[in-house]
Structure formats: structure tokens, C-alpha cells
Structure 1
């Protein structure tokens, strides 16, 4: 049962990351510096999560 739950969670998480990287154009970033890249990824994923919350309401 634990392995099945882990596989389900992994599928859901991987799907959301893949969506952010493909549609959010995060596969290749044109920003210099690690801090700037981290900010860009965090903002993109935050916007994605807010979109999910807004869809459920």
C-alpha cells in the first residue's frame, strides 16, 4: 500500500512540475544568477498554485 501511495503522489507532483516547466517556459531561463532563477521559479510555481486554488472555488 505504501508503494502505491508513493507512486500516486510522485505522478501528481511530477505532472505539476512538468506543466510548470513546459507552459511556464522554465526549461531554459535567460536570467543570470542563481538567486534570480530561484525567484523566477518560485513566482511561476506560486502563480500555478494560486490558479489551482482559484479553479476549485
Structure 2
């Protein structure tokens, strides 16, 4: 079986300029191949103050 690489990413939040990280969702190899360079998953803030003091969705700056 071939290992499909699904890279984690880091970035900056477009709303608060805080540090964020992308965690790819666990999927089967077939799903990973189908998703290609646009994997499913979720961005999250790294600093707890960003999601406790000012809760908002983590969205990467362009």
C-alpha cells in the first residue's frame, strides 16, 4: 500500500492575525487521492486566547 502524504499547514488568521494550523481530516487512501492538493480538514488557532477571548472561525489570510 502506498502512503498518501497529507501535509499539515501553518498560516495567519485573516480576522485576528493570530497563528493558525491546518489539520487534515483522516481519510482513506482513495479519498486522499481524490482530494489531491485540497484536503478536507480544519484550521484552528494555536493561541488559546484567540479562541477563548475572541471566538471566531480560523480562516487563513490570502
Q: Tell me, yes or no, whether TM beats 0.5.
A: no
Greater fraction of residues in helix:
1
Greater fraction of residues in strand:
2
TM value normalised by structure 2: 0.27
TM value normalised by structure 1: 0.29
